[in-house]
Structure 1
Amino acid sequence: LPQRAPSLAVPLPLPPSSNSAPPASSNSNALPQQVNFSELDRVNRIGSGTGGTVYKVVHRPSSRPYALKVIYGNHEESVRRQIRREIEILRDVDHPNVVKCHEMYDHNGEIQVLLEFMDGGSLEGILISREANLSDLARQVLSGLNYLHRRHIVHRDIKPSNLLTNSKKVVKIADFGVSRILDQTMDPCNSSVGTIAYMSPERINTDLNHGLYDGYAGDIWSLGVSILEFYLGRFPFAVGRQGDWASLMCAICMSQPPEAPPTASNEFRHFISCCLQRDPARRWSAAQLLQHPFILRGQPHQVAQNLHQLLPPPPPLSS
């Protein structure tokens, strides 16, 4: 596996204050009234997500399309109550970069969730080589992620297939099947769920961080891997996502984190480095990353400092 460039292995400068994050704006997709399950017509199967199948449905009275997620399995009542509680919390989530959860139905023993329909589908397998486009995408995802983290919601499964878009080119975070609400009374979100290819090293090998897991920092790692994958057009580690899982886990836990290539801008290389720090305490938060020069490059009046004040230009990566 390639070695990490020395210039990106040195201690990073202090990130901007988390208090500078922009306020979340309201989502315009909220429904004025409850949608009855009997008023939904199933159109076609969209795909399979975490623990369920998703269908496109149409609300007959309004002709409005939605996504309906049918959660697998005949769950015990205690599990059903837990799912209902989580969905009730997610119904209150209202942000333009987070897929809206509208309703929950318990129909014929199946739990079904009515979601905002994203007609552009997921970003899985998409190549985004223009940094301006990638900066806009990353800004949108970070805006939604910052909103969730401020509400103490950890997603835990950020990856390209869980980032959806629509015809207006709006990107939204989807699939909260493995998200958890963090509270002092709850476990530290360190169970092995989600997609291992995008998990942080300390989540796969808890010994790396003395058994502690920071779910917020874990989401940032997953975001960094996803953004770098969009830029490269391939999974950034030396093994494939669906290949040898043992080799994949070794690459994530034992090798140096992947980097953007030397052909990328210094802003982008530094941004990826801020996301993919092995030490979770050194990763920038979503609020801090929203103030990064790579994110603010199209808004020069908001840039607090030049990149050259953050990090000297890195040398070419070793082969």
Structure 2
Amino acid sequence: MTPETLGRYQILGELGKGAMGVVFLARDPVIGRQVALKTFRLGYSADDEELAQFRARFLREAQSAGILNHPNIVTIHDVVDEGNGETCFIAMEYVKGTDLKQLMQRQKRLELPFVIDVVAQIADGLDYAHSKGVVHRDVKPANIILTAAKEVKITDFGIARVDASNLTTEGQLLGTPNYMAPEQIQGKDVDHRADLFSLGVMLYELLTTKKPFQGENLTVVTHRIVHDAFTPPDRYVADLPPAVLRILDKALQKDPAQRYQRGSEMARDLRAL
């Protein structure tokens, strides 16, 4: 049942559901603007210590992401922990648009200039976040919103790390496996360059409608990400410029030191096409 209010926010409707909670459209009566509320339900099979760990991580990650202020990043307005053992939520900028996952499902093959513009905007947003010490850790099409004006908005900064608490399945990978960098899969230390690998996977998929590392199950996919070369994109698309292939090759390097070191570098190469 949808609540009428959360904190000071008036609930207008439900925008979607996730594994950890619900996203609501709401109104902030103090400022009079619409916001999206992303809730995190805590009241299930968790002991006091787990709840305390989750709450601490939630607040730390949400506050870290809350410092970000960039045209290509969904702005966080408020972080609320009601302290009742039930609900934490983030109030964020409400963006009208379509996420890239939905767009790809509808349109299949996308035009090259459109793909280049979208991915360059994502790289801009990531570069800014990385300059502030914030790593996304779950860059994927479902976390990229495209407005009617073709402006990109990255959402869910820090959320993957929040979901990595003991409330998740033991041993569960942090992030979405198809888009994860090799070092993420291997459980190694992860920095901003993992986000740029994930962006390379997205670029490949937007261009070809296929993922660069495929397999019949998760075990095969993750093994290929760590050990195998990606499937040559010209197997699916015959007319990609050589410069695009070079960008993909650099973004999808197994060794982070051989990848793009900054989002701005990747954006520059994309816009030079």
TM-score (norm: length of structure 2): 0.80
1:271 maps to 2:247: yes
Give the count of matched residue pairs: 244
8 Å CA contact 1:42, 1:57 repeated in 2: yes
| 1:140/1:82 CA distance change after superposition, 3 Å | same
Is 1:173 the counterpart of 2:157? The answer is: no
Deviations 1:235-258 (CA, angstroms, capped at 9, x unpaired):
33333xxx5112222222232123
Q: Which has the higher helix share?
A: 2
**Secondary structure, counterpart of 1:192 in structure 2:** coil
Q: Secondary structure at the match of 1:267?
A: helix
Larger Rg: 1 or 2?
A: 1
The alignment's TM-score, normalised by the length of structure 1, stands at: 0.69
Q: Which amino acid aligns with 2:90?
A: V
In structure 2, the CA distance between the partners of 1:59 and 1:87, relative to structure 1 (3 Å rule), is same
1:158 aligns with 2:139: yes
Give the corresponding residue for 1:40: 9
Aligned to 2:47: none
Aligned match of 2:63: 88
Q: Superposition RMSD on alpha carbons, in Å? A: 2.5
User: In the alignment, which of 52, 55, 69 is matched to residue 77 of structure 1?
Assistant: 52
In structure 1, runs of 5+ residues without a counterpart are: 1-35, 181-190, 207-211, 298-319
2:127 match? 146
Deviations 1:136-176 (A, max 9, x none): 10111000100111111111100000111222221111112
> 1:257, 1:278 within 8 Å by CA — same for their partners in 2?
no
For 1:199 and 1:102, locate their aligned partners in 2 and report how far apart those are by CA, in whole Å.
28
Matched, 1:195 2:141: no
For the pair 1:227 / 2:195, whether they are aligned, the reply is: no
Moved more, 163-172 or 48-57: 48-57
| Offset of residue 296 of structure 1 | 3.0
**Secondary structure of 2:34's partner?**
strand
Letter in 2 for 1:113: I
Q: Deviations over 1:163-222 (max 9, x none)?
A: 112222211111121259xxxxxxxxxx8311111111232135xxxxx53422211111
- The counterpart of 1:102, out of the listed 77, 80, 84, is 77
2:220 partner letter:
S
1:93 shift after superposition: 0.9
Report the identity percentage: 26
Aligned partner of residue 239 in structure 2, secondary structure? coil
